[in-house]
Each structure stands twice: as C-alpha cells, then as structure tokens.
Amino acid sequence: MTAYEQAIARLRAIRDAVNALDLAGATAQLVEHDRQLREALAASPSALAISEAESLRHAQAALLDQLEAVRDRVERESQQAHRGGAAVRAYLGNAGG
C-alpha cells in the first residue's frame, strides 16, 4: 500500500470514528495520521506526488468540516440539555410551593 493509500485509509478510519462519536479514538488517529503524513512529506523524494498531496488536502478539509459540524451539534445539544435542566429545576422549585 502506498503512502497515499495509507493516508486515505487513515482518513476513512477517522471519519468512521467521528461518525461513531468516538472522539477520543478519532483524536488519537488524527495524531498518528499527522505524524505519518509529515514523515511521508519529509521523505526525499517525497512519498506523495503533488496530485496526491492535493487530494489529501481536500479529503482533510472535508473531514475538518465534518468535525466542525459534530462539534456544533454537540454544543447545541449541550445547550438544550442545560436549558432543559434549568426548566426542570425551576418547575420543581415552583411545584414545591
């Protein structure tokens, strides 16, 4: 498997971890992906062709968009849960009379 194929496989695994909301796993995989990608780019000659590096950049940008969407969704759901908890506490405080 080429460096490019390995990088694409890592990105797919990271996307799968994000989809499963395994954010710790995705983070660990991102760290390893970054390490291996830097190693491939530093090789002389580079282990990646320019077209492969560009393709990886696009795939990583799509993954970043997905991560941002998950972050935003988790933030919204957390805010909703907080508001719901406040409403329940207010109701229970008033129900006790």
Instruction: Name all contacts of 63-69 with Cβ < 8 Å and 24+ positions apart.
Output: 63/11, 63/14, 63/15, 63/18, 66/15, 66/18, 67/18, 67/26
Check residue 81 and give its pLDDT.
85
Domain count, the chain: 1
Check residue 82 and give its pLDDT.
81
Identify the domain containing residue 90 by its residue range: 3-95
Check residue 21 and give its pLDDT.
86
Across the chain, what does the average pLDDT equal? 89
Residue range 47-85, pLDDT digits in tens: 899 999 999 999 999 998 998 898 898 889 888 888 888
Check residue 96 and give its pLDDT.
64
Residue range 13-46, pLDDT digits in tens: 999 999 998 988 998 999 999 999 899 888 888 8
Q: Is the dihedral of CA 48, 54, 58, 63 positive or negative?
A: positive
